[in-house]
Amino acid sequence: MAISPITGMVRKSAFIDITASLVLGTFSGYAYWYGYHVPIVRKREAYYSKLRENQTLKK
């Protein structure tokens, strides 16, 4: 009694792994960029804008 070869499982598994990693990586990148980076940059830009405005008013 011979065991039949497993065909297509490696290809399907590789496709699922690559697709899942691309989707999760893209989602994580967007979550970091728009959830952390952009708000911090906006806050910093607002601070420096306010600082620049105060310096020009003093002169």
Distance CA 31, CA 12 (A): 28
Q: 1-37, pLDDT tens digit by residue?
A: 677 766 677 788 889 999 999 999 999 999 999 999 9
Residue 11's CB is within 10 A of a number of other CB atoms, namely 9
User: Taking the mean position of all CA atoms in its chain, how far away is CA 58?
Assistant: 42
The confidence score (pLDDT) of residue 9 equals 79
Convert the pLDDT of each residue in 36-57 to its tens digit: 999 999 999 999 999 999 998 8
- Please report the pLDDT score of residue 1 as a whole number: 63
| Cα 18-24-17 angle, rounded to 5 deg | 20
- Whole-number pLDDT of residue 58: 80
28, 34, 40, 43 alpha-carbon torsion, rounded to 10°: -170
pLDDT of the residue at 41: 98
